[in-house]
Amino acid sequence: MSPAAGAGLTVVVVDDSAVQRRFMRAAVEADGDFSVVGEARNGREAVSLVARLRPRAVLMDLDLPVLTGIDAIERIMSASPTPILVYSAFLAGSNNVNALEALAAGAVDVLAKPGPDDTGTLEDYAAALRAKLRVASRVRVITHPRGRLRLQGMAGSAPSLGGGDRRPLRPTAEPDRGDVRLVAVGASTGGPQALLALLARLPADLDQAVLVVQHMAAGFIPGLAAWLDGLVALPVGVGVSGCRLAPGTVTLAPSGSNLLLADDRLRVLCTPPAPGQFHVPGIDATFASVAAVLGDRAIGVLLTGMGRDGAAGLLAMRRRGALTIGQDAATSAVYGMPAAAWALDAVERQLALDQIAPAVLGAVGRALA
C-alpha cells in the first residue's frame, strides 16, 4: 500500500495512555494540514498500523507495553520505513539514554512530554510539536535495521561523492592548516546518527579538541553525550562555562545557552541566547566565536538539519581561513543547513557523511585508522 494520499500530512499516534493519545491528536489536528489516521496503544499495534496505513509520519511515546518503543521503531524502520518523532518524559537525574537509543534505531527526532514545570503553555507545546512533525515528515528515510547504524554499516550505507564537491572561496588562497586545534561540528535533524558516524571514525589520540552543537530538546543533551560516549573512542561530555576543551575530547554545547570559544587556550563560555534566537544552543554563535579566536586553526563541519543555523557561522570560519565541510544532500536526513551554507559559499568541501572523517583527519595530517 502506498503512503496515504489526499489527506494532507497523515500521522499515526502511538501511546498506551488514552490521555496522551487524545492530547496528541488534538495538538496535531489543531493545524488543518495534519490528520491523525490511526492510534496504537502498544508497540506491536504500531508496527501493524504503520504497515497498513503508511502514514507520512509517526508520533510515538517511547515507553510502550507489549513491544517497547525502541523495538517498535526498529521493526517499522525495517519493514515500512516512516519518519518517526518520539516523545519521552524527561526524567531529572536520568541521562535519558533511551531517547538516544530511539534515534539510533532510526527515529528522526525526540521531544520531551509536557511537564508540570514547563514555562510555556500546552498550545506552545502543540505548536512546537507540529513544527517538529512537519520537519520529520520531510525527512528521507531508508530501510534501517539497527546494524546499519554501527560503524561498518554507516560507512557503506550512503552513496559517496568520491572526493566531494570542492570550490575555492575567492579571493583567499589555500591556507596552511598545519596547526589545527579544534574541530567544530553543528547538526540538527538527523544529527545524532550523523554525529555517531563521524565521531566513531576519529581516533582516541586525536590531537584536536572537538566541539559539537546539536539542536535537541532541552534536557536531552546529557543523554546524547552519554550515548555517544559509550560508542566512540573519544571521551564525550557536556561543556560548562569556563572549562577548557582538551585535545582528544568531544564537548557538546549544553541546552539553554550558546557555547562560545573565549580564547586560544580553548576556554569556552556559556552565554544567553540573543532575543528571538530560534535554536538554542545556536551553531552560528559557536562557529562565529571559533572563527574569531582560531581563524584557520579550526575546521568547521555542518551536518544534516532543517533551517539555516550554522551557515553564517561557517561562512565566518571560511573567511578566516578554516577548512569548512558541509554534508551532502544524498546523505543528509534533511539537506537544509548544509544547503544554506553551500548557497552562501561557506562550504569549501561538500562531502558524503562517510567521507567527512577522512577529510578531517587528512586536514590534520592523520590517516583513517
Partner 1 sequence: MPDDQDGAGLRRTGPAPSRTLSPELLAGLRTAFAGEVDRRLPRLRRLRQDPDQQVLAQALRDAHSLASSAAVVGADELSRCAARVETGLQRCLSDPAAGFPAPVAADAEQLTALLEGWRPA
**Residue 341 burial (10 A CB sphere; 0-12, 13-18, 19+):** buried
If one asks whether residue 19 binds partner 1 (CB under 8 A), the answer comes out as: yes
Q: 52-81: which residues touch partner 1 (CB under 8 A)?
A: 63, 65
Tell me if 197 sits within 8 A of 354, measured CB to CB: yes
If one asks whether residue 48 binds partner 1 (CB under 8 A), the answer comes out as: no
Those residues whose C-beta lies under 8 Å from the C-beta of residue 136, and which sit 6 or more positions away, are 57, 83, 84, 85, 108, 109, 189
If one asks whether residue 132 binds partner 1 (CB under 8 A), the answer comes out as: no
If one asks whether residue 18 binds partner 1 (CB under 8 A), the answer comes out as: yes
Q: Is 188 a catalytic residue?
A: yes
- Cell reading at 15: 501511546
- Cell reading at 99: 531517547
If one asks whether residue 127 binds partner 1 (CB under 8 A), the answer comes out as: yes
Q: Is 144 a catalytic residue?
A: no
Tell me if 249 sits within 8 A of 235, measured CB to CB: yes
If one asks whether residue 37 binds partner 1 (CB under 8 A), the answer comes out as: no
Identify residue 270 by its one-letter amino acid code: C
If one asks whether residue 113 binds partner 1 (CB under 8 A), the answer comes out as: yes
Tell me if 184 sits within 8 A of 288, measured CB to CB: no
Tell me if 36 sits within 8 A of 13, measured CB to CB: yes
Q: What is the 3-state secondary structure (H, E, C) of 10-38?
A: EEEEECCCHHHHHHHHHHHHCCCCEEEEE
Tell me if 328 sits within 8 A of 357, measured CB to CB: no
Tell me if 31 sits within 8 A of 6, measured CB to CB: no
Closest CB 65 distance from partner 1, rounded Å:
7
Closest CB 318 distance from partner 1, rounded Å:
37
| CB nearer partner 1, residue 5 or residue 19 | 19
| CB nearer partner 1, residue 34 or residue 227 | 34
Which one of 309, 328, 332, 354 is the catalytic residue?
A: 309
Q: Is 332 a catalytic residue?
A: no
Closest CB 91 distance from partner 1, rounded Å:
7
**Of the candidates 75, 62, 65, the residue with the CA atom closest to the CA atom of residue 110:** 62
Number of residues that bind partner 1 (CB under 8 A): 33
If one asks whether residue 337 binds partner 1 (CB under 8 A), the answer comes out as: no
Q: Candidates 25-33, 236-244, 337-345, 350-358 — which segment interacts with partner 1 by CB under 8 A?
A: 25-33
| CB nearer partner 1, residue 17 or residue 172 | 17
Closest CB 11 distance from partner 1, rounded Å:
12
If one asks whether residue 94 binds partner 1 (CB under 8 A), the answer comes out as: yes
If one asks whether residue 230 binds partner 1 (CB under 8 A), the answer comes out as: no
Q: Which of 30, 79, 240, 274 binds partner 1 (CB under 8 A)?
A: 30
If one asks whether residue 293 binds partner 1 (CB under 8 A), the answer comes out as: no
Tell me if 354 sits within 8 A of 158, measured CB to CB: yes
**Of the candidates 24, 18, 28, 62, the residue with the CA atom closest to the CA atom of residue 43:** 62
Calculate Rg over the CA atoms of the chain: 20
Max Cα–Cα distance, the chain, nearest Å: 62
Closest CB 224 distance from partner 1, rounded Å:
20
Closest CB 273 distance from partner 1, rounded Å:
23
If one asks whether residue 263 binds partner 1 (CB under 8 A), the answer comes out as: no
| CB nearer partner 1, residue 18 or residue 142 | 18
Q: Which of 92, 119, 275, 276 binds partner 1 (CB under 8 A)?
A: 92
Which one of 109, 215, 289, 354 is the catalytic residue?
A: 215
Q: Sheet of 84-88: strands edge to edge?
A: 34-40, 9-14, 57-61, 84-88, 109-112
* Cα 326 to Cα 342: distance, rounded to the nearest angstrom: 7
Binding site for partner 1 (CB under 8 A): 16-20, 22-23, 25-27, 29-32, 63, 65, 89, 91-94, 113-118, 121-123, 126-127, 130
